[in-house]
């Protein structure tokens, strides 16, 4: 990838991030609304520097299908809130016990464990409140996709497997099963929701694209946990391994993990090209995003 192109993509990414931040501010309850402390805690984690990958996946999917990003505004923001709540709860002392996230103190370090638990609960609930305002006959299907991908058969189920497997021997199949839920479900949902809202009847190709991106994302995450730069990553290096958790790197080694990442990268690009697209400019951007996930250093 040429440097020029890269600059261009990063600027594009920043513009999208700004749009999403603007949407989130518009859709969340006021930061100073009563009771203030809970709303402050919600804002703190929502605006703590996330990359907004999930809403961007929704936007790009709408764009390759020839639609404007506005069509995915509510589900995209709902999914970002659900993702943020999952990080707040995951960082709690009873879970991963992390003090830092994206270079900032974690929610419970700032607001206390009790408010952090509630801020997570509130963000999850708010996501569904926002969906109630989606003026679309697709609402039941969107609600089904988002609730299922976040549920005990989706993301929360993945977290539970993660807890059960910590300090227990894990094989690569269970690890993949865990990540398909823990990380994959919330990366597939934004793509599937966008496809449904843009009128796609068969979403198989979209889900396949999401599944490949999910696995790619998780493997590069595991590699970064070992190889990353602590300052760029915003959390200590090797933190997953030191928690006694199995990772792609601990089970396969770095070299094989990189090959796995390469495999899912290629599969994601293939899935993307299986979709009947309306906007080739947007497809180029989508490819750049997949490459960005593959190449990212933080």
Residues that bind a copy of itself (CB under 8 A): 29, 33-35, 37-39, 42, 85, 89, 92-95, 112-115, 117-118, 120-122, 124-126, 128-129, 131-134, 139-141, 143-144, 146-148, 150-153, 156-157, 159-161, 163-164
231 Cβ neighbours under 8 A, 6+ residues apart: 103
Q: Tokens for 242, please give them.
A: 């030191």
Task: Work out how close the CB of 124 gets to a copy of itself at its nearest, in angstroms, rounded to a whole number.
Answer: 6
Closer of 100 and 129 to a copy of itself (Cβ): 129
Task: Work out how close the CB of 27 gets to a copy of itself at its nearest, in angstroms, rounded to a whole number.
Answer: 13
Burial class (CB in 10 A: 0-12, 13-18, 19+), 269: middle
**How far apart (Å, rounded) are the C-alpha atoms in residues 146 and 193?**
8
Closer of 85 and 265 to a copy of itself (Cβ): 85
**How far apart (Å, rounded) are the C-alpha atoms in residues 8 and 104?**
28
Closer of 35 and 169 to a copy of itself (Cβ): 35
285 Cβ neighbours under 8 A, 6+ residues apart: 9, 12, 60, 63
Closer of 6 and 31 to a copy of itself (Cβ): 31
Element (H, E) at 12: helix 3-27
**How far apart (Å, rounded) are the C-alpha atoms in residues 64 and 73?**
16
Task: Work out how close the CB of 115 gets to a copy of itself at its nearest, in angstroms, rounded to a whole number.
Answer: 7
Task: Work out how close the CB of 151 gets to a copy of itself at its nearest, in angstroms, rounded to a whole number.
Answer: 5
Task: Work out how close the CB of 29 gets to a copy of itself at its nearest, in angstroms, rounded to a whole number.
Answer: 6
Alpha carbons within 13 angstroms on the beta-carbon side of residue 153 total 5
Task: Work out how close the CB of 153 gets to a copy of itself at its nearest, in angstroms, rounded to a whole number.
Answer: 6
DSSP line for 165-202: HTTS---HHHHHHHHIIIIIHHHHHHHHHHHHHTT-S-
**How far apart (Å, rounded) are the C-alpha atoms in residues 206 and 220?**
21
Closer of 134 and 251 to a copy of itself (Cβ): 134
Closer of 141 and 230 to a copy of itself (Cβ): 141
């Amino acid at each position: 990838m040429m440097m020029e192109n890269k600059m261009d993509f990063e600027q594009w990414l920043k513009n999208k991030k700004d749009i999403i931040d603007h949407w989130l501010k518009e859709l969340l309850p006021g930061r100073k609304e009563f009771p203030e402390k809970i709303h402050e805690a919600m804002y703190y984690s929502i605006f703590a520097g996330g990359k907004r990958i999930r809403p961007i996946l929704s936007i790009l999917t709408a764009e390759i299908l020839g639609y404007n990003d506005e069509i995915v505004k509510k589900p995209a923001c709902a999914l970002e809130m659900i993702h943020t709540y999952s990080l707040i709860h995951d960082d709690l002392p009873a879970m991963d016990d992390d003090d830092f996230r994206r270079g900032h103190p974690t929610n419970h370090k700032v607001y206390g464990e009790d408010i952090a638990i509630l801020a997570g609960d509130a963000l999850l609930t708010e996501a569904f409140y926002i969906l109630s305002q989606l003026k679309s006959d697709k609402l039941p299907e969107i609600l089904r996709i988002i609730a299922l991908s976040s549920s005990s058969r989706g993301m929360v189920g993945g977290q539970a497997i993660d807890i059960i497997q910590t300090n227990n021997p894990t094989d690569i199949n269970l690890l993949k099963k865990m990540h398909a839920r823990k990380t994959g479900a919330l990366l597939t949902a934004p793509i599937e929701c966008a496809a449904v809202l843009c009128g796609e009847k068969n979403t198989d190709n979209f889900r396949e694209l999401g599944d490949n991106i999910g696995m790619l994302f998780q493997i590069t995450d595991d590699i970064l946990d070992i190889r990353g730069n602590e300052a760029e990553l915003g959390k200590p290096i090797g933190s997953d391994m030191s928690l006694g958790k199995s990772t792609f790197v601990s089970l396969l080694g770095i070299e094989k993990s990189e090959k796995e990442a390469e495999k899912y990268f290629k599969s994601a690009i293939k899935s993307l090209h299986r979709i009947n697209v309306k906007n080739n400019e947007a497809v180029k951007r989508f490819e750049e995003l997949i490459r960005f996930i593959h190449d990212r250093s933080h």
